[in-house]
Amino acid sequence: MKLDSGDATRLQECVAGGGVAVLPTDTVYGLCCDPESEQAARRLYELKGRPSTRASAVMFFALEPALQTLGELPDSERRALQALLPGPVTVLLANRGRRFAPACRSDPGTLGLRVPRLPDGLAALGAVTRPVMQSSANISGQPDARALAEVTHTLVDRADLVLDGGELPGTPSTVIDLRDFDAERRWHVLREGPLSRDAVRELLAPLS
């Protein structure tokens, strides 16, 4: 399945209108909503059965808008993000601007950032100009979905928009903690996924 510009427009309109969408990413299927809307976030969490205090990532569909939005990033973190993104990773950053509170939940000082490396079939999503709050499209604690048919029917039926991007790689993103990177040049892999720990080390070594 290949998404087109109409799909990108529908996704943007859905999120802007306070809706919840099922979408493909570079890893697994996700649920997304407006990261500035507490009402939309609560609905997403209710659909998933996700504990209300657990944070979700904020996904941008291109790197430059993310860097522009996070204008307070120190140079070291900016270079680290340029080395790692776009890619199948979630990067934890110090949320100095206290942005996207509905996504950060009980830890407003930390921001989880995603910028997917969109394959050709999903490249149209690069036209989405606004970020989304994103979590995996599954009931909390259940397996991740690599195909739309694997997304729980409850989520598909109750979402405001469902985009089918075909079969995905199926491994959740690597989670990299960069909160100590600026001060100490330290990083931590909290969950190893498509990007291995060795690959992360290779990308960040020139900056350490």
Beta strands per DSSP E along 29-159: 30-33, 57-59, 89-94, 110-114, 132-136
Lateral strand order in the sheet of 188-191: 161-162, 21-23, 30-33, 132-136, 57-59, 110-114, 89-94, 174-177, 188-191
How high is the pLDDT of residue 208? 79
- pTM for the model: 0.96
CA 193 to CA 89: how far, in whole Å?
A: 8
DSSP character string of 100-117: -HHHHTT-TTEEEEE---
Show the domain range for 143: 5-207
Place of tokens 């601007």: 97
Q: In this structure, what CATH number is given to the domain that contains residue 19?
A: 3.90.870.10
How high is the pLDDT of residue 187? 97
Positions in the chain whose pLDDT score sits under 50: none
**Partners of 174 in the beta sheet?**
89
C-alpha closest to that of 113 among 75, 82, 74, 151 = 82
How high is the pLDDT of residue 26? 98
Question: Which 3 state secondary structure label does DSSP give 134?
Answer: strand
**Partners of 89 in the beta sheet?**
174
Structurally, how many domains does the chain consist of? Answer: 1
Q: Are 39 and 46 in contact (CB under 8 A)?
A: no
How high is the pLDDT of residue 21? 98
CA 23 to CA 102: how far, in whole Å?
A: 19
Question: ∠ CA(136), CA(78), CA(31), 5° rounding?
Answer: 10
Burial of residue 157, with CB atoms counted within 10 A of its CB: 0-12 exposed, 13-18 middle, 19 or more buried? exposed
CA 106 to CA 148: how far, in whole Å?
A: 31
Q: Are 116 and 61 in contact (CB under 8 A)?
A: yes
The H or E element that residue 199 is part of is helix 197-204
